[in-house]
Amino acid sequence: MGNPKALALLFLSILLSSPLSAERCHPDDKKALFGVKKAFNNAYAFISWTPDTDCCEWYLVKCDEKTNRIISLSVTEDEEVAGPIPDAVGDLPYLEDLTFVHVPNLVGPIPQAIARLKYLRFLWISHANITGAVPDFLGQLTE
Protein backbone atom coordinates (compact mmCIF):
# COMPACT_ATOMS: atom_id res chain seq x y z
CA MET A 1 0.00 0.00 0.00
CA GLY A 2 1.03 3.56 -0.57
CA ASN A 3 1.96 6.17 1.98
CA PRO A 4 -1.25 7.20 3.86
CA LYS A 5 -0.10 10.83 4.11
CA ALA A 6 0.56 10.97 0.37
CA LEU A 7 -2.82 9.41 -0.41
CA ALA A 8 -4.58 11.86 1.92
CA LEU A 9 -2.74 14.77 0.31
CA LEU A 10 -3.66 13.52 -3.18
CA PHE A 11 -7.32 13.12 -2.19
CA LEU A 12 -7.40 16.60 -0.64
CA SER A 13 -5.84 18.20 -3.72
CA ILE A 14 -8.37 16.49 -6.02
CA LEU A 15 -11.23 17.58 -3.76
CA LEU A 16 -10.05 21.19 -3.65
CA SER A 17 -9.41 21.40 -7.39
CA SER A 18 -12.89 20.10 -8.31
CA PRO A 19 -15.80 22.53 -8.37
CA LEU A 20 -18.12 21.90 -5.46
CA SER A 21 -21.15 22.44 -7.64
CA ALA A 22 -21.33 22.29 -11.39
CA GLU A 23 -23.05 25.03 -13.33
CA ARG A 24 -26.69 24.11 -13.89
CA CYS A 25 -27.48 26.75 -16.50
CA HIS A 26 -27.89 25.53 -20.07
CA PRO A 27 -25.28 27.24 -22.30
CA ASP A 28 -27.88 28.23 -24.92
CA ASP A 29 -29.98 29.94 -22.24
CA LYS A 30 -26.94 31.77 -20.92
CA LYS A 31 -26.12 32.99 -24.43
CA ALA A 32 -29.71 34.22 -24.93
CA LEU A 33 -29.67 36.02 -21.58
CA PHE A 34 -26.43 37.76 -22.50
CA GLY A 35 -28.25 38.90 -25.65
CA VAL A 36 -31.00 40.38 -23.47
CA LYS A 37 -28.43 42.09 -21.25
CA LYS A 38 -26.59 43.55 -24.25
CA ALA A 39 -29.82 44.80 -25.84
CA PHE A 40 -30.60 46.67 -22.62
CA ASN A 41 -27.10 48.24 -22.63
CA ASN A 42 -25.91 46.26 -19.61
CA ALA A 43 -28.32 48.04 -17.25
CA TYR A 44 -27.52 47.72 -13.55
CA ALA A 45 -30.40 45.26 -13.08
CA PHE A 46 -28.24 42.70 -14.88
CA ILE A 47 -25.08 43.21 -12.79
CA SER A 48 -25.19 39.62 -11.49
CA TRP A 49 -25.20 38.31 -15.07
CA THR A 50 -21.52 37.52 -15.51
CA PRO A 51 -19.81 34.79 -17.57
CA ASP A 52 -18.27 33.15 -14.51
CA THR A 53 -21.57 32.66 -12.64
CA ASP A 54 -24.41 30.18 -13.02
CA CYS A 55 -27.36 31.85 -14.77
CA CYS A 56 -29.74 29.78 -12.65
CA GLU A 57 -28.55 31.94 -9.75
CA TRP A 58 -28.94 35.29 -11.52
CA TYR A 59 -31.28 38.04 -10.41
CA LEU A 60 -34.49 38.31 -12.50
CA VAL A 61 -34.45 34.72 -13.78
CA LYS A 62 -35.62 31.34 -12.57
CA CYS A 63 -34.57 27.87 -13.73
CA ASP A 64 -36.65 24.73 -13.73
CA GLU A 65 -35.44 22.47 -10.92
CA LYS A 66 -35.38 19.35 -13.12
CA THR A 67 -34.31 20.57 -16.56
CA ASN A 68 -32.22 23.58 -15.44
CA ARG A 69 -33.69 25.57 -18.33
CA ILE A 70 -34.73 29.19 -17.85
CA ILE A 71 -38.49 29.30 -17.23
CA SER A 72 -38.94 32.86 -15.98
CA LEU A 73 -37.61 36.31 -16.81
CA SER A 74 -39.12 39.06 -14.70
CA VAL A 75 -38.01 42.69 -14.96
CA THR A 76 -39.91 45.03 -12.66
CA GLU A 77 -39.61 48.51 -11.20
CA ASP A 78 -36.64 49.58 -13.28
CA GLU A 79 -36.22 52.91 -15.06
CA GLU A 80 -32.71 52.06 -16.25
CA VAL A 81 -33.84 49.20 -18.48
CA ALA A 82 -34.47 50.95 -21.79
CA GLY A 83 -35.23 50.01 -25.36
CA PRO A 84 -37.46 47.48 -27.08
CA ILE A 85 -38.06 43.96 -25.82
CA PRO A 86 -35.03 42.12 -27.23
CA ASP A 87 -35.51 39.41 -29.84
CA ALA A 88 -33.16 37.33 -27.68
CA VAL A 89 -36.07 36.51 -25.34
CA GLY A 90 -37.32 34.28 -28.16
CA ASP A 91 -34.13 32.23 -27.77
CA LEU A 92 -35.26 30.98 -24.34
CA PRO A 93 -37.29 28.01 -25.60
CA TYR A 94 -38.58 26.85 -22.22
CA LEU A 95 -39.67 30.27 -20.97
CA GLU A 96 -43.06 30.06 -19.23
CA ASP A 97 -43.23 33.50 -17.62
CA LEU A 98 -42.15 36.79 -19.19
CA THR A 99 -42.78 39.93 -17.15
CA PHE A 100 -41.98 43.59 -17.76
CA VAL A 101 -43.83 45.70 -15.17
CA HIS A 102 -43.10 49.32 -14.24
CA VAL A 103 -40.35 49.55 -16.83
CA PRO A 104 -41.22 52.99 -18.25
CA ASN A 105 -38.38 53.08 -20.78
CA LEU A 106 -39.40 49.81 -22.41
CA VAL A 107 -40.52 50.94 -25.86
CA GLY A 108 -41.65 49.67 -29.23
CA PRO A 109 -43.93 46.84 -30.30
CA ILE A 110 -44.12 43.35 -28.86
CA PRO A 111 -41.56 41.46 -30.97
CA GLN A 112 -42.43 38.54 -33.23
CA ALA A 113 -39.68 36.58 -31.41
CA ILE A 114 -42.13 35.94 -28.57
CA ALA A 115 -44.07 33.66 -30.93
CA ARG A 116 -41.19 31.16 -30.61
CA LEU A 117 -41.94 30.69 -26.90
CA LYS A 118 -44.14 27.61 -27.19
CA TYR A 119 -44.27 27.07 -23.41
CA LEU A 120 -45.14 30.68 -22.53
CA ARG A 121 -48.04 30.69 -20.07
CA PHE A 122 -47.80 34.15 -18.61
CA LEU A 123 -46.97 37.39 -20.41
CA TRP A 124 -47.31 40.52 -18.31
CA ILE A 125 -46.34 43.87 -19.77
CA SER A 126 -47.63 46.82 -17.79
CA HIS A 127 -46.63 50.41 -17.07
CA ALA A 128 -44.27 50.49 -20.05
CA ASN A 129 -44.26 52.39 -23.32
CA ILE A 130 -45.04 49.49 -25.62
CA THR A 131 -46.62 50.65 -28.87
CA GLY A 132 -48.80 49.10 -31.52
CA ALA A 133 -51.69 46.70 -31.49
CA VAL A 134 -51.72 43.41 -29.63
CA PRO A 135 -50.05 41.08 -32.14
CA ASP A 136 -52.10 38.26 -33.65
CA PHE A 137 -49.35 35.74 -32.91
CA LEU A 138 -50.09 35.99 -29.19
CA GLY A 139 -53.38 34.23 -29.86
CA GLN A 140 -51.48 31.36 -31.44
CA LEU A 141 -49.50 30.54 -28.30
CA THR A 142 -50.94 27.27 -27.03
CA GLU A 143 -49.99 27.38 -23.37
Least confident range of 25-29, 101-105, 131-135: 131-135
pLDDT at 17 over 50: no
User: Which stretch of DSSP H or E encloses residue 77?
Assistant: none
Instruction: Please tell me the class of the 24-140 domain.
Output: alpha beta
Spell out the domain ranges in the chain: 24-140
pLDDT at 18 over 60: no
Max CA separation in the chain (angstroms): 76
pLDDT in tens, 23-72: 899 999 999 999 999 999 999 999 999 999 999 999 999 999 999 999 99
